[in-house]
Amino acid sequence: MALISAESAGQLSENLVFAFPSAPFVLALRPADLFALDAYVARHGVEINVNIQFVTRRTVTGDWMIVPADGSRAFELQFSLPALLEDWLLYDERAVGRRARGIKADLLSSISLFRDGRLIRLNYQRPHRG
């Protein structure tokens, strides 16, 4: 997987990272700053707790953002869900919040990616409401 990920990302774009969630699909992550992700991993290690947020900015629709769970926003990784999954998620507006929480907790609970020959694991941590 690491070799396929590195070769494909190099052919498509320097700023595209393939990631492998605990789901039957692959995510194409678009980092705002790839070096910021590398720096965060260098400081905090390869097991990173993250939050996953739905992007609601007008310039971006239907996308999701992965950010550190520590609240630092030291890196941002944007991605889109597969079309069928997103259609199901958004089909019933009353159920969107519940379905989104389920997707994050189940399908996106652990996302693996490879950088510089290292396996990095992004572990979804549900935000605490306090």
pLDDT on residue 36: 96
Instruction: Indicate the pTM of the whole model.
Output: 0.75
Residues lower than pLDDT 50 in the chain: 1-13, 60
- Kindly give, in sequence order, each residue whose CB lies less than 8 Å from that of residue 20, ignoring residues fewer than 6 positions away: 1, 26, 27, 111, 112, 113
pLDDT on residue 111: 94
pLDDT on residue 15: 77
pLDDT on residue 24: 80
